[in-house]
Structure 1
C-alpha cells in the first residue's frame, strides 16, 4: 500500500485537522485511512509547522492504514515461526514491520535497518567493536541503553527504532539490539529465552555467560546458575543451554505486544497481534 492522498490536497487537509466540524473530521479520517499509515516524508517535504495536538490527531487517523499495511506485508513462512530458523533477513524484516506499525506515521525517522547500521558505525568509531564484551560495555555498562522500568509494558518497547532513539527498552528488545549490532560486526551473540526475562549469551574468557541487557549488561555465570539446582526449573535450564530460535523470539515479541495492547484497552491492535501469533503458530 502506498500513500493515496493527493499531494496537492494534503496541505489543505492538514490545515483542517483542528476543525471540529464532525463531517470534516469524518472525511479526513476516511481519506487518511486509505494511505499506508505513514505520511512522515510527505509532511517533512511540506515543512509545515503542525501543532502537537494536530500531529497526534493525524497519527490516530493514520492508524487504520498502518494496521492494513502490517497485515498486507506480513508474510507467514511455510512452516510458520519454526521455519525462520536462521533466516535473519526475514526475521529482521518482521521486526521492521513491527517498528513501522508502532511508529506514529507523522515524524520522520530512518528505517530500522538504517538505524541499526548507524549504531554499528558509531560503535566502530568509538572502538566498541573489538569484542562482544567491549560492545556490552559500550551499549549497557555505560548507560547508553537501559531498561525501561518506568513504562515496562508500553508497546514502544517492541519498536527497536524507538529503543535506539530513546536508549530504553525491555529485556528482549535490548538483547536484540545487542545481537543485531553484534551480528553486523561478526560477533557471536545469541539469545537466551529465559522465562520471564530474555537474556543474551556470549563467551567471556572461554566460558559462556549470560548478559542481562535490561540491568546495565550485568554478567551472569552460566556455570553458577546450573549448579544451583533448587532455584531454577528444568525449562529454565534448557533455555540457558540452548540458543533461542528466531521463531521463538518473534513469537515472544508478538505475545508481549498483545499483552501490552490489552493493558491499554486497545483491543483492535491486541487482536491483530494475537491473529499474527496464531497464524505463525499454525502454519505448516
Structure 2
C-alpha cells in the first residue's frame, strides 16, 4: 500500500486520475493526500503522465490551497516586537513576502521563486545601477514599460504575489513600489518608500536633487507641488507618516492589511481570517 506521505510523481499521477471523481469521500481523500505536497506540485506536473484540462487544473489548485495556507502559518515567523522589530530587517521582510507569494501562487504553474527572480533582475541591472543609480533603475523597471500598473483591479490579491509580478504581470502602487525597493536594496542603492493612501512613492537622490518617482505611473517624477497638493487632502497623522521613509515592517503591515480587505470583499472569509491572524503578529488589535 502506498504511504500517504509519498510525494513522488507516481503518487501525484494516481491522485490526478481521481480528480474527475466528485464523490465527497474520494474528493476528501484526494485533498488530504495532496496536503503532503505542501500546496505546490508545479515541478512534479511535468513529470506526470496525466495531462490536465483547464477545469481539472483549477480544481487541483483549489485542492492544494489548504496546504498552502498551513505552510504560510508555519513559515510566518515574526519577532515578538511585531512590525517594529522588522524595522530595518530587509532580509526578513523579503522572507515573509516570499511566504506570502508562495501562498498566493496557484501551486500548479511553473515560475521562479521570489528570491531567485530578484537575484536575476538585480544581476541584469547591476551595470545600470552602478552607472546611473536609482534613476537608471527607475527607467529600466518602469519608464520602459517592463512593469505595469494593474489599474483595473487595484485590490486583486495577485498584486502582492511578487514572484508573479516579476514574471511580467501587473501590480498596484504598493506592489510595484516594493519591487523597486527590493531591487535597489540588492544593488545597495539608497531608495526610500513613502507610503501614501492608495500609493507608494519612491525617493532617491540624483546628483544633488531629491527625486520622487511613482512606479504606478511608469515611474514618472512627482513634482513638489503635486506632492503638497496630495498632502493637503490627508489628515495630520497620515501626513506625518507619508513624509518619512516607510520601514519594512510598515510596508509589510500595508500588504497584509490590503490582502485581508481584498479577500473579505471577495467573500473569501477563510483567507481573510488568515490575513487577520498574520496581522495580529505585526500590530496590536484593533488594526
**TM-score, scaled to structure 1:** 0.90
SS of equivalent to 1:45? coil
Give 3-state SS (helix, strand or coil) of 1:72's partner: helix
Select 1:71's aligned residue among 64, 70, 73: 73
Distance 2:235 2:108 in 1: 46
Counterpart Cα distance in 2 of 1:230 and 1:115:
38
CA distance in 2, matches of 1:226, 1:149: 24
Runs of 5+ consecutive residues of structure 2 not aligned to the other structure:
none
- What displacement does 1:89 show? 1.1
> Which residue is 1:4 aligned to?
5
Q: Distance in 1 between matches of 2:115 and 2:168?
A: 17
Corresponding pairs, count: 280
After superposition, residues 5-154 of structure 1 pair within 5 angstroms as 5-7=6-8, 8-46=10-48, 48-124=50-126, 127=128, 130=131, 131-154=133-156
Please say if 1:254 is aligned against 2:275: no
Q: For residues 278 and 250 of structure 1, what CA distance do their matches in structure 2 show? A: 12
In 1: Cα distance, 2:195 partner to 2:168 partner: 24
User: CA-to-partner distance for each residue in 1:69-105, whole Å, 9 max, x for gaps?
Assistant: 0001111212111001111111110000000000011
Structure 2 distance, partners of 1:237, 1:180, is 24
- Cα deviation for residue 188 of structure 1 reads 0.8
Post-superposition offset of 1:167: 3.5
Identify the residue that residue 225 of structure 1 maps to in structure 2: 227
Q: Distance in 2 between matches of 1:182 and 1:222?
A: 23
After TM superposition, give the deviation of residue 199 of structure 1 in Å.
1.5
Distance 2:193 2:117 in 1: 21
Q: Which residue, 180, 191, 212 being the options, matches 1:178?
A: 180
Structure 1 residue 216: Cα displacement: 0.6
Q: Is this contact kept in 1: 2:7–2:36, CA < 8 A?
A: no
Point out where structure 1 has 5 or more consecutive residues left out of the alignment.
none
Q: Tell me by how many angstroms 1:157 deviates.
A: 0.3
Q: Distance in 1 between matches of 2:233 and 2:11?
A: 63
Distance in 2, matches of 1:203 and 1:21, equals: 62
CA distance in 2, matches of 1:229, 1:251: 21
Shift of 1:27: 1.6
Structural RMSD (CA)? 2.2
> In the alignment, does 2:198 pair up with 1:188?
no
Q: Is the 8 A contact 2:17 2:50 kept in 1?
A: no
Name the structure 2 match of 1:207: 209
Checking the alignment, whether the CA contact within 8 Å between 1:261 and 1:269 is kept in structure 2 is yes
Q: Is this contact kept in 1: 2:72–2:103, CA < 8 A? A: yes
Query: Structure 2-normalised TM-score?
Result: 0.89
Q: Secondary structure at the match of 2:198?
A: coil
Q: Deviations over 1:186-228 (max 9, x none)?
A: 1111111122312111113422222111111111134763488
